[in-house]
Amino acid sequence: MVQDLSLYPENACLLAPIAGHSDLPFRLSARRHGCKFAFTEMVDAGSLVFAAPKSLHLLARDPSEDFLGVQIVGSELDTLKKAVQILNEREFSVIDFNLGCPAPKVAKKCEGAAFALKKPDEAVKAFAVIAENSRFPVSVKMRILSETDPEPTVRLAQKLADCGASAMTIHGRLMKNFYSGEVFFDIIKAVAENVKIPVIANGGALSAPLYKELCRESTCSRGMVARGALGDPWIFREIAGGLPPTLEEYGEEIRTHFFAMVDFYGADLAFRICRKTLLAYLRGRGYPGSLRASVSFLNSLDDFEVLMKEVQKGPLSKVYKETGLVACC
């Protein structure tokens, strides 16, 4: 076990491991605009042990990625141990244990957020196995366990810290609320005040203003962006005080990201996967619904060029519905 209390410096802004999105092209897009700390998609420990091609593909790392964390999910102790031993053969900056995913397919196996909520003591034992067998620093991502009482969340966080966590990310919503509703900053704050490791605040950071509110209200100097980065890699630049993208930058990044996906997946698979990526770029930017709908029928490079011709006409506007702010370029 390796412990590194300087894993994340003060004011570090992390990119979350987002299932279905945090592949290599997505991370490189975010890094071009200021992201330094990023993770692979969540990897199932069992799939990793049985060498599922998709899981192994998720571990791809670019030489330019100075920091890359890998996140695993699971509950069976021997499987987690074997998965960590496989990861030890590669190079990562940290192994993160997922105790926060609320997805039904994860919850039905009593893993992710369900593991922490229903079997917290067993979740701590599972994390201890990871910590004891990892040659990298270890961390954990979890959700709050109560909206009104900080004690259950704090107690679990303290046990995980005692097992060797170098850092922990706290999503300020209950498992049942998924990604909507109020973020309970006070519960995150209580954890930060009661553990001696860095706490990363998470939840609701859909824009730079909302990210800053999350960190301010939780009193955390480190925060994590998840859905706010979908279609908006510039959020990292804006958090650092920079400006939203110009129309030219916007078009160039979409094009670069798209062709990186083609290179990474091959054209046939890329055209299927890229649709959700392109829709994320177009959402909330002032484009008509008909243009967004056309993404669903994207099947060729010619289709992509037709789409981009319309995109680059504008308008480019980003509406922060939660704050009432509008940024236009």
- For the stretch 312-326, pLDDT in tens is 998 777 654 444 334
Mean pLDDT for 55-75 is: 95
Q: What is the mean pLDDT of the chain?
A: 93
Show the tokens assigned to 102. Answer: 């609320």
pLDDT at 25 over 60: yes
Q: Give the pLDDT of residue 52.
A: 75
Please report which confidence band the pLDDT of residue 106 belongs to, taking 50, 70 and 90 as the band edges: very high
pLDDT at 126 over 50: yes
Spell out the SS3 assignment of the chain. Answer: CCCCCCCCCCCCEEECCCCCCCCHHHHHHHHCCCCCEEEEEEEEHHHHHCCCHHHHHHCCCCCCCCCEEEEEECCCHHHHHHHHHHHCCCCCCEEEEEECCCCHHHHCCCCCHHHHHHCHHHHHHHHHHHHHHCCCCEEEEEECCCCCCCHHHHHHHHHHHHCCCCEEEEECCCHHHCCCCCCCHHHHHHHHHHCCCCEEEECCCCCHHHHHHHHHHHCCCEEEECHHHCCCCCHHHHHCCCCCCCHHHHHHHHHHHHHHHHHHHCHHHHHHHHHHHHHHHHCCCCCCHHHHHHHHHCCCHHHHHHHHHHHCCCCCEEEECCCCEEEEC
Q: Give the pLDDT of residue 318.
A: 64
Mean pLDDT for 119-144 is: 98
Residue positions annotated with a catalytic role: 101
Q: Give the pLDDT of residue 60.
A: 94
pLDDT at 277 over 50: yes
Comparing 56 with 323, the larger pLDDT belongs to 56
pLDDT at 86 over 70: yes
Q: Give the pLDDT of residue 261.
A: 97
pTM metric for this prediction: 0.92
Mean pLDDT for 69-92 is: 97
Q: Give the pLDDT of residue 315.
A: 79
Spell out the SS3 assignment of 150-192. Answer: CHHHHHHHHHHHHCCCCEEEEECCCHHHCCCCCCCHHHHHHHH
Show the tokens assigned to 9. Answer: 């410096």
Mean pLDDT for 77-98 is: 97
Whose structure tokens read 């945090």? 22
Q: Give the pLDDT of residue 112.
A: 96
What tens digit of pLDDT does each residue of 236-273 get? 999 999 999 999 999 999 999 999 999 999 999 999 99
Report the percentage of the chain scoring pLDDT > 70: 95
Mean pLDDT for 123-139 is: 98
Q: Give the pLDDT of residue 152.
A: 97
Please report which confidence band the pLDDT of residue 53 belongs to, taking 50, 70 and 90 as the band edges: confident
Q: Give the pLDDT of residue 314.
A: 84
